[in-house]
Amino acid sequence: MSDETKYIHAGRHKKWTKGIVNPPIFRASTIIYDTVEEMDHALKNMHKNTLFYGRKGTDTHFALMEAMKEIEGCAGAWFYPSGLAACTGAIMAFAGAGDHILVTDSVYEPTKKFCKSNLKNMGVEVEFYDPMIGSDIESLIRPNTKIIFTEAPSSVTMEVQDIPAITKVARKHDIVVILDNTWATPALFDAYGHGVDVVVHAATKYFIGHSDAMIGIATANDKCWARLRDHNQQMGYCASADDVYMVLRGIRTLKLRLKQHEENALKVASWLKRQDIVDKTLHPAFEDCLGHENWKRDFSGSSGLFSFTFNCGGRQAVSALLDHLKLFKMGFSWGGYESLVMGLYDLKKSRDAKVWEEKNPLLRLHIGLEEPDDLIADLAQAFEIYRQYI
Ligand SMILES: *Cc1c(COP(=O)(O)O)cnc(C)c1O
């Protein structure tokens, strides 16, 4: 079955949908039992998609768990109140006091903050590594290394890591590889096919797709699912049936939306590449982007998020440009239908393992579903403002 068809039908089993196209939103705390036998049955089967207690999910949640298995090939999936909670929850599930973990230097900034503060306080030693390290990661492995945390591409500087090279080394040393797959989603990168053990998604982004809900998902392969599940159940992580429903709804159009995000982003990036004030187009499909070769080899497409650097100008020029953009709004997060822009001035401070060499300003764009020519016209008029400051 083609992926396009799979995304339409995943998780839509009659036992969850009750014969409706979409599964109903079942809100619950208490589940009530008429007999002791019924209650015992629920107790015995609580991890087998059987109603037990609201925190452990209702049919709406079970439908999304099934959908994730079908579209991603994971052994199990669970839901977190945000993407960040899925990242930190997955790390805590596999590392404790006295352990050492390796985290890509290009990791999502709040994940890095957690590693440097809370995780450190829990007695876990965190070492950041050059995102482009590839199989040389073996030289950093210690007897107590438990996790290699990866993110491909990074969500600001866009380096595409060599995931197969890293998972190959990790398997040899029995280390768990976690991947933050938010940029690609299962639609553009087959994490389990490339040897990853645990995948985290900020479903807030493309799964939801409309900038109107916060939710995280962590999934695992057969080897890691029981441990990930025990951790998230003991921690009490859960997401509301309403938000879970929104993810299910988003999955139906995920492939289609990503195709359009890709096409639009490539058009805008190609235009940027031709501008005299642009230095590097940091889009995985462009050679300027570190790890472009890895993207070409391992990914089936690109999404709508990328960055570029100027070859001139500074903070003042960038601020003037940002103030004059009309369609591109400034805002955190991305993955919705709308275009967004973010100016980044001081990337050096965000690096611990390897210096970020670019001296000129970097702009991150999320290309939405608007007509790309309109977006290009918006950028073109703002570039004229930029030129007044150089
Ligand atoms: C946004 C994001 C997160 C966090 O997701 P939230 O739902 O905003 O908490 C994690 N990782 C990456 C790569 C992200 O872009």
Q: What is the pLDDT of residues 35-90, one digit of tens each?
A: 999 999 999 998 889 999 999 999 999 999 999 999 999 999 999 999 999 999 99
User: Residue 120 has what pLDDT?
Assistant: 96
List the structure tokens of 350. 């965000």
pLDDT at 297 over 80: yes
Residue 162 CA to ligand 1 centre (angstroms): 21
Provide the pLDDT for residue 130.
97
Q: What is the pLDDT of residue 252?
A: 98
Catalytically active residues are 55, 108, 180, 205
How many angstroms separate the alpha carbon of residue 83 from the centre of ligand 1? 5
Helices 372-387 and 241-273, axial angle in degrees (round to 10): 60
Q: Which atom of ligand 1 is nearest to the CA of 85?
A: 9
Q: Which atom of ligand 1 is nearest to the CA of 155?
A: 13
Kindly tell me if the per-residue pLDDT of 289 is higher than 80. yes
Instruction: Name the residue of 91, 103, 104, 204 to mutate for ligand 1: max ligand atoms within 8 A of Cβ.
Output: 204
Confidence label for 344 from pLDDT (cuts 50, 70 and 90): confident
**In this predicted model, what pLDDT tens digit does every residue of 301-339 receive, in sequence order?**
999 999 999 999 999 999 999 999 999 999 999 999 999
Q: For residue 376, how far is its CA from the centre of ligand 1 (angstroms)?
A: 27
Tens of pLDDT, residue by residue over 155-207, are 999 999 999 999 999 999 999 999 999 999 999 999 999 999 999 999 999 99
Q: Which of 109, 205, 237 to mutate to test the pocket of ligand 1 (most atoms within 8 A of CB)?
A: 205
Q: Is the pLDDT of residue 355 over 90?
A: no
- Output the average pLDDT for the chain: 96
- Note whether 196 and 189 are within 8 A (CB): no
Distance 334 CA to ligand 1 centre (A): 9
Mean pLDDT on 232-247:
98
Confidence of residue 347 (pLDDT cuts 50, 70, 90): confident
- Ligand 1: residues with CB < 6 A are 82-84, 87, 108, 151, 155, 180, 182, 202, 204-205, 214, 216, 333
pLDDT of residue 200: 98
Interval between CA 181 and ligand 1 midpoint (Å): 10
Q: What is the pLDDT of residue 214?
A: 98
Res 346 pLDDT > 80:
no
Measured by CA distance, the residue closest to atom 8 of ligand 1 is 83
* Residue 182 confidence (pLDDT): 98
Q: Pick from 220, 258, 204, 264: which is nearest to 83 by CA?
A: 204
293 vs 285: CA distance, rounded Å: 9
Of all protein residues, the one whose alpha carbon is nearest to atom 2 of ligand 1 is 202
Is residue 113 classed exposed, middle or buried when 0-12, 13-18 and 19+ CB atoms within 10 A define those classes? Answer: middle
Atom of ligand 1 nearest to the CA of 151: 13
What pLDDT is recorded for position 358?
82
Nearest CA to ligand 1 atom 6: 83
pLDDT tens profile 116-167 = 999 999 999 999 999 999 999 999 999 999 999 999 999 999 999 999 999 9
Secondary structure of the chain as H, E, C letters: CCHHHHHHHCCCCHHHHCCCCCCCCCCCCCCCCCCHHHHHHHHHCCCCCCCCCHHHCCHHHHHHHHHHHHHHCCCEEEEECCHHHHHHHHHHHHCCCCCEEEEECCCCHHHHHHHHCHHHHCCCEEEEECCCCHHHHHHHCCCCEEEEEEECCCCCCCCCCCHHHHHHHHHHCCCEEEEECCCCHHHHCCCHHHCCCEEEEECCCCCCCCCCCCCEEEEECHHHHHHHHHHHHHHCCCCCHHHHHHHHHHHHHHHHHHHHHHHHHHHHHHHHHCCCCEEEEECCCCCCCCCHHHHHHHCCCCCCEEEEEECCCCHHHHHHHHHHCCCCEECCCCCCCCCEEEEECCHHHHCCCCCCCCCCCEEEEECCCCCHHHHHHHHHHHHHHHHCCC
